[in-house]
Structure 1
Amino acid sequence: MARIFPIKGIMYNSELDNDLGKFLCPPFDVVDDNDKDKLYGISEYNVIRLENGKSFLTDDNDENKYTRSSKFLDEWLSKKVLVKDHEESLFILEEIFENNNKHIPRTSLICNVKVEDYEKKVVLPHEKTREKQKKDRFELMKNTKAVFSPIMSMIEDKNKKFMKFMQDEKLADPYISSEIPFMHKFNLWKIKDKDKISYVTSLIKNEKIFIADGHHRYETSLNYKEFDSKVDKRIMNIFSSHDNGLLLFGYSRAIKNLNKKNLDDLIQELSNKFSIKEISWNESLINWNQSTQEIILMEYNDKIFTLDKGAETISTYEKLHSVFDDLLGKENVINHIEYIHDNVSLKKKIKNNEIQLSFSMNALSKEYFLNCVSDGKLLPPKSTLFYPKLPTGLVIQYLYE
Structure 2
Amino acid sequence: MATIRPFKGVRYNPDKIDDLSAVISQPYDRVRHGLQDKYYAQSRYSIVRIIKGKEQAGDDEKNNVYTRARDYFNAWLQQGILMREDRPALYILHQTVTLPDGSKHTRQGMIAAFELARFDEGIVLPHERTLSGPKVDRLNLLRTTEVNFGHIFMLYPGNHINELLGQAIAGLRDSPQLPRRDAGQVPRRPVQRRFQLSHGHSGQHGRSRPRHPTHPPPDPLLHQDGYNSGARDIH
Fold similarity call, TM over 0.5 = yes
The equivalent of 1:136 in structure 2 is 137
The equivalent of 1:165 in structure 2 is 164
Q: For residues 196 and 240 of structure 1, do their structure 2 counterparts lie closer, same or farther at Cα, with a shift above 3 Å needed?
A: farther
1:122 & 1:151 partners in 2: Cα distance? 15
Cα pair 1:155 1:241 within 8 Å, conserved: yes
Deviation at 1:114, TM superposition (A): 0.7
Q: For residues 63 and 203 of structure 1, do their structure 2 counterparts lie closer, same or farther at Cα, with a shift above 3 Å needed?
A: closer
Counterpart code for 1:193: H
Q: For residues 61 and 101 of structure 1, do their structure 2 counterparts lie closer, same or farther at Cα, with a shift above 3 Å needed?
A: farther
2:43 & 2:105 partners in 1: Cα distance? 27
Counterpart of 2:210 (choices 175, 196, 201) is 196
The equivalent of 2:204 in structure 1 is none
Q: For residues 45 and 170 of structure 1, do their structure 2 counterparts lie closer, same or farther at Cα, with a shift above 3 Å needed?
A: farther
Cα pair 2:3 2:216 within 8 Å, conserved: no
The equivalent of 1:114 in structure 2 is 115
1:58 & 1:5 partners in 2: Cα distance? 42
Q: For residues 22 and 107 of structure 1, do their structure 2 counterparts lie closer, same or farther at Cα, with a shift above 3 Å needed?
A: farther
Deviation at 1:57, TM superposition (A): 3.1
Counterpart of 2:225 (choices 209, 213, 222) is 213
Partner of 2:112, secondary structure, is: strand
1:51 & 1:72 partners in 2: Cα distance? 11
Q: For residues 11 and 177 of structure 1, do their structure 2 counterparts lie closer, same or farther at Cα, with a shift above 3 Å needed?
A: closer
The equivalent of 2:64 in structure 1 is 64
Cα pair 1:161 1:203 within 8 Å, conserved: no
The equivalent of 1:19 in structure 2 is 19
Unaligned runs of 5+ in 2: 201-208
Structure with the larger helix share: 1
| Pairing of 1:356-375 with structure 2 (within 5 A) | none
Partner of 1:189, secondary structure, is: strand
- CA-based RMSD of the aligned residues comes to 2.3
Cα pair 2:2 2:216 within 8 Å, conserved: no
* CA radius of gyration, larger in: 1
| Pairing of 1:221-370 with structure 2 (within 5 A) | 237-242=230-235
Partner of 1:108, secondary structure, is: strand
The equivalent of 2:205 in structure 1 is none
Partner of 1:202, secondary structure, is: coil
The equivalent of 2:47 in structure 1 is 47
Partner of 2:136, secondary structure, is: helix
Higher RCO (C-alpha under 8 Å, 6+ residues apart): 2
Partner of 2:25, secondary structure, is: coil
1:51 & 1:203 partners in 2: Cα distance? 30
1:119 & 1:192 partners in 2: Cα distance? 32
Partner of 2:178, secondary structure, is: strand
TM-score by length of 1: 0.50
Hey, which bits of structure 1, 4+ residues long, moved more than 6 A?
A: none
Deviation at 1:25, TM superposition (A): 1.6
TM-score by length of 2: 0.83
Cα pair 1:177 1:186 within 8 Å, conserved: no
